[in-house]
Chains A and B, each alone.
Chain A
């Protein structure tokens, strides 16, 4: 024995040690960053905390949209099926049955049948868990047979462990030893032996004999399963009771739906090679050769593949049926053979591991908005219902009074929120929000990483995880304003979700917190709209001819605050009118007609003052009420005979004399008329006369695309017709604004959100001498003119508040035959510094006129206001007025 041999052994050991050291160097030093990142992935987690979105309230502080924190119940089906004994039994038994005869036997719709499933599992021969050859239909199994035995052991051990309350891994290990220790009998016998020996702590039986131990074991498992089913039924009952809105929810149907989805998720596409291999392994070709099937249909394997899928499936079914029959003949005393109905052939690629229920890892919402009591109960029983998750959430409530979810006509103003979606309707908005938030989270992650002196690659990974956490948060709870104030004020309302950057252990227990990004709740947004005025406006609109499309807008004449904004649309196939955006967005041709006349008159009076050369009204012709030729093609006329009234501005406005304004148009010309409209925001000052777009919307805080700008479309209308409002497309909101300007001498900026900075508006270039006749005409219009139908209301208003009512009717023909009109009434309450409200009402496409259809809307609204002392005092500054009857007395 030479020493050199020992030296060689020494050399071998030294070489191995050096190789190991080099290998460890590669892992621990050269690749350290990667492993450190994986270590961080194990233990670092970002936990999101939902934020509360700010409320939207009306001018009086009444909430219209607000967040309610609550709890959702979610189900992670993979956990349910891996840990809940009911699911384990059903899936396990189905797996065994499918392997045996090609079809599944149990579902979750009738949980009591899980008793049979458990009996089936306990009756599986140990040999089946040991020997792949024992499996009858192994060729079409999902997963493949080498995984199948492990799956079945997993199910058997898991079910019994869950029912006995012992460690599933210890029981599985003991069962594994029985299976591969050449244990005899079935699973029950093996478990009885394990229990009698006490191999697994807590898993014992008291029965003295094997037979009695088997019986005791089975009975205990069945009793425990019954108890778990009872508990699940109790959960179902509690959920049913929680559905306060009368809807129903089928918990077991939901579970079974997920069961099917889980099963389907595991069904991978078969590959021809795998099919070939599996068929060959199963003896398919040999069977085919011996059978009567005319296999000359295909000369080789390629020919087989070229057969139609149906034909291939038919042959395989025939083979599987025959095989199942033969197996059933020699089957052990296991399940009732039943009808062997082979399923479709769907082998898996043999070299692939089957992902276990991969698609069902994501939790799915079972029920939202659980009552607090139910949520707490669920938290207490969570351990008994694995797979069910109680998640904190927030829900957006909407309504005008508690319990009423309908926002009515305010719905389109308040708008809506939607879930976060990168491909959503407002991608640019989403992207901006998400990027801002991600940047914030990433900064936090960087800060934490910097404190721990991590490599850049690791901090990059950390940032990526923070971003993933954020995306997951938005995917689950994210809400973003989609329309209305919710969208326009999203930045203010949304707030910012919280984020805890924690270190956790294997059991997901948080052990250390690096960073806590506090939740920043969203701020509230207060509308200028007074809900009570809004309701009055709705009623005023609804009480009169509900089958029409109409709108009413009421503004604070001084500030431009929108106090009420209502529009309704009516469709022939819908008996009920629906609230719409017709007060500010186009439904159709919205020509304003004669409500444009005061604006033209003001422009004319101002022009006349500056340029005496213009023809004064005193020189205008009388109004004869007859058509007069205007050019070679057209004849223009006034509908009434106003006589000398056509030479008086006050009378012309009060009686809406077209002849007066035809003459004014001739005197002013197209450019100055357009300029007059532009001063009131009805046209862009710099736009060309040929196709004048409206000025940009000026409603503070609201997205421009939701608010249609006024516009001039004079094409098709001769100049005099433009002066009486044809070709002028303006929506009630902007009509009311213009009349607020006439009332105060200053065109206010529109505002619908109180928190927005209030603008001063723009002073109009008219002096008192210009305004006086126009306002006088508007007052006369209400008292004696075309709007005299509401003179009573005007008088009541004056009595109650000392304020005069000013208004102008308009009736714009919108069809060629003149049968349908846009009937308008616009005006204001009080003038100058006393001006309180400005309003515009319209009834679209009506056969009526402004004075008889739109003006009564305003009258009803004002009457209702005067009936309410508080509203009257708040907005009109007066005392409650006596009813008509009392006044007459």
Chain B
């Protein structure tokens, strides 16, 4: 019996089941969100992406993950090159330059999604031998590893995706044993950078969205109905999150039913196959459906964390922690943005939102995690013997 024969038995099928369920739910809701619109057919396209992602995940499972460890630096550099390239040759869509057109392929590649995976690999690889490292090795270098691609993503501009990088950094460093104090300083530095950036590099529309978000907590029903300034905002910067809130709120406990959500059907909800797909879920299946999807994500994240806890090999463990944090953070941010708990940002829901890059990147990440779980790599770090 060779190693390949054992692999299927060692795979954590719960993770596969959860991911597959979430992905199929995603296809269903992309279909619901695009039926009868100019984007009809995106669900079929998403199925194709999903199939490609399954293949990619399978490759990620089969290839021994030690090779990813060895290639982490190369992958990271490759991702950086792609992120730099997108600034020069990227296609502009909705005012942002986030995609590289693949000639002849008929689709666009979003490097920032793969950049997250590359950062996870790079951080896990860097911190593999740095138990309880603080200072330069344990915090500063990982921060730089994260900051470079995050900055490039920010410049695109894609503030939402650039924000996802930072929880990954903190989670991996924390899991790697970085002192909380060092991480606190890092956090404070991050806050300072954001504060400075607010006045210097943040775009006007980004500030405006944040201002609208902050002000919306002070609106009451009368203000919304009578204040012309507020009504104007709701037609302008506040339009997307407001319509998303209406979709979520009007769904009630059980929702309007599949493909019956009025905000979805009547085109009031923008970008509903991508950045606001969770609002479609909530509108059509209500709070129960929304929480169900949220629970599925939580279960997936918990399963990944459990896998990390079971993994004694340090690179693999950090890799799984990074992927779990990435998927969990992005999913929860997406939900929070849809419910306007956070300012409006364009952030897809991994495995659910329409899009090849985000699906493939998430599938690759999960595939790598399954790879880690399925293998019994020799524990090379001292930490593994504790």
B-binding residues in A (CB < 8 A): 1-3, 5-10, 13-14, 16-17, 20-21, 23-25, 27-29, 31-32, 34-36, 38-39, 42-43, 146, 149-150, 170, 172-174, 176-177, 180-181, 197, 199, 352-356, 358, 503-507, 511
Contact = CB atoms under 8 A, between A and B. Distances in A.
Nearest to B212: A353
B291 A29 contact: no
A428 to B, nearest CB: 30
A28 B228 contact: no
Contact of B339 (A24, A36, A506): A24
Interface residues of B, number: 67
B339 A358 contact: no
B262 A43 contact: yes
A507 B38 CA distance: 14
Contact of A16 (B176, B282, B332): B332
Interface in B318-374: 318, 321, 324-325, 328, 332, 335-336, 339, 341
A496 B386 CA distance: 86
The 6 closest A-B pairs by CB, nearest first: A35-B249, A173-B95, A39-B250, A505-B266, A28-B287, A506-B267
Interface stretch (B26-34, B40-48, B55-63, B295-303): B295-303
Contact of B305 (A9, A29, A505): A9
A630 to B, nearest CB: 77
A505 B267 contact: yes
Contact of B341 (A8, A23, A32): A23
Counting chain A CB atoms within 10 Å of each CB, the highest count among B94, B95, B176, B341 belongs to: B95
Given A1-B383, A358-B228, A507-B267, A35 B95 contact: no
Contacts of A358: 228, 232
Counting chain A CB atoms within 10 Å of each CB, the highest count among B97, B263, B295 belongs to: B263
B20 interface: no
B241 to A, nearest CB: 12
A20 B332 contact: yes
Given A13-B301, A21-B291, A358-B228, A27 B339 contact: yes
A499 to B, nearest CB: 21
Counting chain B CB atoms within 10 Å of each CB, the highest count among A1, A29, A356 belongs to: A1
A350 to B, nearest CB: 13
A8 B177 CA distance: 12
Contact of A1 (B221, B301, B317): B317
B291 to A, nearest CB: 5
A652 B252 CA distance: 94
A180 B287 CA distance: 40
Counting chain B CB atoms within 10 Å of each CB, the highest count among A27, A36, A149, A507 belongs to: A27
A4 to B, nearest CB: 10
Interface string B298-318: 100110010011000010011
Given A10-B302, A173-B94, A29 B176 contact: no
Contacts of A21: 291, 294
B23 interface: no
Contacts of A43: 262, 266, 268
A204 to B, nearest CB: 14
A355 B232 contact: yes
Contacts of B301: 10, 13
Contacts of B328: 13
A8 B183 CA distance: 15
Contact of A5 (B174, B253, B282): B174
Given A1-B176, A353-B232, A27 B249 contact: yes
A36 B175 contact: no
B379 to A, nearest CB: 12
B290 interface: yes
8 contacts: A1-B314, A5-B174, A10-B302, A16-B332, A39-B263, A43-B268, A149-B204, A174-B92
Given A14-B298, A197-B92, A505-B266, 18 more contacts: A1-B318, A2-B177, A2-B386, A9-B171, A9-B174, A9-B321, A10-B301, A20-B335, A24-B335, A29-B287, A32-B252, A35-B249, A36-B250, A38-B249, A39-B263, A42-B266, A173-B93, A177-B97
Nearest to B221: A34
Contacts of B317: 1
A1 B96 CA distance: 40
A766 B252 CA distance: 82
B283 to A, nearest CB: 8
Contacts of A29: 252-253, 287
Contacts of A181: 97
A1 B177 contact: yes
Contacts of A9: 171, 174-175, 305, 321, 324-325
Given A13-B328, A150-B204, A199-B92, A35 B245 contact: yes
A605 to B, nearest CB: 76
B233 interface: yes
A14 B290 CA distance: 16
Contact of A146 (B93, B204, B302): B204
Contacts of B383: 1
Nearest to B256: A39
Contacts of B336: 20
A485 to B, nearest CB: 42
A174 B309 CA distance: 47
A199 B233 CA distance: 28
Contact of B295 (A1, A17, A32, A503): A17
Contacts of A505: 265-268
Contacts of B321: 6, 9
Interface string B169-204: 001001111000000000000000000000000011
Nearest to B341: A23
Interface in B222-281: 228-229, 231-233, 243, 245-253, 262-263, 265-268
B228 A503 contact: no
Contacts of A3: 309
Contact of A42 (B131, B229, B263, B339): B263
A352 B227 CA distance: 11
B91 interface: yes
A352 B211 CA distance: 12
Contact of B229 (A25, A177, A352): A352
B111 interface: no
A13 B290 contact: no
A172 B246 CA distance: 27
A20 B341 contact: yes
A177 B203 CA distance: 11
A39 B252 contact: no
A472 to B, nearest CB: 16
B286 interface: yes
A32 B249 contact: yes
A192 B162 CA distance: 31
A28 B282 contact: yes
B175 to A, nearest CB: 5
A1 B133 CA distance: 11
B339 A20 contact: yes
Contacts of A176: 95, 205
Given A28-B248, A32-B250, A177-B96, A42 B174 contact: no
Given A146-B204, A177-B96, A505-B267, A39 B325 contact: no
B305 A10 contact: yes
Nearest to B299: A17
B92 A27 contact: no
A27 B248 contact: yes
A154 to B, nearest CB: 10
Nearest to B231: A355
A42 B246 contact: yes
Contacts of A20: 294, 332, 335-336, 339, 341
A177 B249 CA distance: 34
Contacts of A150: 204
Contacts of B294: 17, 20-21, 24
A1 B131 contact: yes
A172 B249 CA distance: 31
A42 B268 contact: yes
A860 B335 CA distance: 91
